[in-house]
Amino acid sequence: MCSTTRWCGAPGGAKIGRRDIDAAQKRRKFLEIRFVEAGPFTDQRPGTSGLRKKTRVFEQAHYLETFVQAVLEAAAVPRGATLVLGGDGRYLNDRAVQTIVRVAAGNGVGRLIVGRDGLLSTPAASHLIRSRGAHGGIILSASHNPGGPDGDFGIKYNGQNGGPAPEALTERIFETASKLKGYRLADLGPVPVGEPGRRDLGGLVVEVVDPVADYLALMERLFDLDRIAAMFASGFRMRFDAMGAVTGPYAKTVLEGRLGAAPGTVVNGDPLPDFGGHHPDPNPAHAKELLAEMADADGPDFGAASDGDGDRNMIVGRGLYVSPGDSLAVLLANADLAPGYRGRVAGVARSLVTSRAVDRVADAMRLPCYQTPTGWKFFGNLLDAGLITFCGEESFGTGSDHVREKDGLWAVLFWLNVVAATGKSVSELLADHWARFGRDYFTRHDYEGLDPEVAAEVVGRVVERCAGGEKELAALGVDRAYEFEYVDPVDGSVSRNQGYCFEAGEARVLFRLSGTGTEGATLRCYVERYERRPDRLHLDAQTALADDIALARDLAGLDALRIGAPTTIT
Residues that bind ligand VG1 (CB under 6 A): 48-49, 143-144, 307, 311-312, 374-376, 393, 395, 397, 514-516, 524
Q: Which is nearer to Co ion, 118 or 375 (CB)?
A: 375
Strand order in the sheet with 51-54: 51-54, 152-158, 136-140, 82-87, 111-119, 205-209, 197-200
Contact partner, 375, from Co ion, ligand VG1, none, Cβ < 5-8 Å per class: ligand VG1
Which residue's Cβ has the minimum distance to ligand VG1? 143
Smallest gap from residue 453 Cβ to ligand VG1 (A): 19
Length of the chain: 570
Q: Which is nearer to ligand VG1, 164 or 299 (CB)?
A: 164
**What are the phi and psi torsion angles at 12 (to 5°)?**
110, -15
Strand order in the sheet with 238-241: 266-267, 238-241, 302-306, 313-317, 320-321
Smallest gap from residue 351 Cβ to ligand VG1 (A): 6
Smallest gap from residue 283 Cβ to Co ion (A): 12
- Measured between alpha carbons, how far is 200 from 206 in angstroms, rounded to an integer? 6
Q: Could you tell me what percentage of the chain is helix, strand and coil, using 3-state DSSP and rounding each to the nearest 5?
A: 35, 25, 40
Q: Which is nearer to ligand VG1, 376 or 511 (CB)?
A: 376
Q: Where are the beta strands (DSSP E) in 451-536?
A: 480-483, 486-487, 494-495, 500-504, 507-513, 521-531
Smallest gap from residue 514 Cβ to ligand VG1 (A): 3
Q: Which is nearer to ligand VG1, 144 or 286 (CB)?
A: 144
Spatial CB neighbours of 441, under 8 Å, sequence gap ≥ 6: 355, 528, 529, 530, 531, 539, 541, 544, 545
Residue 83's Cα: distance from chain center in Å? 19
Q: Which is nearer to ligand VG1, 268 or 306 (CB)?
A: 306
Q: Which is nearer to ligand VG1, 307 or 531 (CB)?
A: 307
The SS3 call for residue 500 is strand
Q: Which is nearer to Co ion, 88 or 531 (CB)?
A: 88
Binding site for Co ion (CB under 5 A): 143, 307, 309, 311-312
Smallest gap from residue 497 Cβ to Co ion (A): 23
Smallest gap from residue 306 Cβ to Co ion (A): 8
10 Å CB burial of residue 292 (0-12, 13-18, 19+) is exposed
Tally DSSP H helices, then E strands, for the chain.
19, 27
**Beta-ladder partners of 425:** none
- Measured between alpha carbons, how far is 352 from 493 in angstroms, rounded to an integer? 17
Pairing of strands 238-241, 302-306: parallel
Contact partner, 404, from Co ion, ligand VG1, none, Cβ < 5-8 Å per class: none
The SS3 call for residue 313 is strand
Contact partner, 123, from Co ion, ligand VG1, none, Cβ < 5-8 Å per class: none
Spell out the alpha helix ranges (H) of 155-257. Answer: 167-179, 213-222, 225-233, 247-251
- Measured between alpha carbons, how far is 63 from 49 in angstroms, rounded to an integer? 18
Per the annotation, the verdict on 234 as an active-site residue is no
Spell out the alpha helix ranges (H) of 11-121. Answer: 18-27, 55-58, 63-74, 93-106
Q: Point out the catalytic residue in the list 143, 327, 351, 400.
A: 143
Contact partner, 152, from Co ion, ligand VG1, none, Cβ < 5-8 Å per class: none
Smallest gap from residue 378 Cβ to ligand VG1 (A): 9
- Give the residue numbers annotated as catalytic, written as ranges: 143
